[in-house]
Amino acid sequence: MFDLSGKIAVVTGGGSGIGRAISVLFARQGAHVHLLELNEAAASEAADEIRQAGGQVTVHACDVARQDEVQSVFETIGTPQILVNNAGIAHVGNLEGTTEAHFDRIVAVNVKGVYNCLYAAVPRMKAAGGGVVLNMASVAALVGIPDRFVYSMSKGATLAMTLSVAKDYLKAGIRCNSISPARVHTPFVDGFIAKNYPGNEAEMFAKLSATQPIGRMAKPEEIAALALFLCSDEAAFITGCDYPIDGGFVKLNN
């Protein structure tokens, strides 16, 4: 089950966190993984891990916010059978704490970046008779979260794009779904806590973990496992769906 042998999988932001976990797992399951990553050092580390395990991987330095760069990379890759739109950035702030520069940067990466990769991949998948797209949304698209104004907006857009692509390309054999994680323990979380709460890292980590009713953050590998299922042939009957993977955050928080 969940065999990806012979498939080309593109993972944006594949050098760290959730993207790295997805890339490593997909390669382990037989896919040739193409990492699109702005951070070349992180991509190189992820690629080394994949190669040491006997997997196939190609690294592409790419800013997903730049359509010319994305198109150039896809011309090199050709037609992927799987696209995982994982690359994204965060911002902490309510409406008044969101400047135009903040807004534009989040939209460029989290919204336009997804669009750019869809725009490059979907026509190729359509011409080849089908494919699978998985977009990384967030529980922030589903519930109100304090001080996440523009981030929540961007993930709401990701969810809407998921539904639109799923609807428009049903007859082209393209499935499109999304995952909405709650907090996941990644290097980004550790860096955020260290920067904003120096000296209180352990206390803040425990506080953020406790916001999930299950009592902890997710592991990147747990998100990757769901991604593998949704991108595999075993999920061939699933399209146009969003999957919260949130330790009870959406339904059990009161």
Sole residue written with tokens 């702005």: 38
- 151 catalytic, yes or no? yes
Q: What are the structure tokens assigned to 44, written together?
A: 């190189």
Taking the mean position of all CA atoms in its chain, how far away is CA 250?
19
Whose CA is closest to 93, among 111, 105, 79, 76? 105
Helix H or strand E segment including 58:
strand 56-61
Q: What are the structure tokens assigned to 43, written together?
A: 């991509």
Rounded CA-CA distance 202/193 in Å is 9
The alpha-helical segments, DSSP class H, found in 169-239 are 187-196, 201-210, 220-231
**176 phi and psi angles, rounded to 5 deg:** -140, 120
Q: Are 122 and 70 in contact (CB under 8 A)?
A: no
Catalytic residue selected from 151, 169, 197, 243: 151
- Cα 76 to Cα 56, 69, 117, 119, distances in angstroms: 16, 11, 14, 15
Residues known to be catalytic: 151
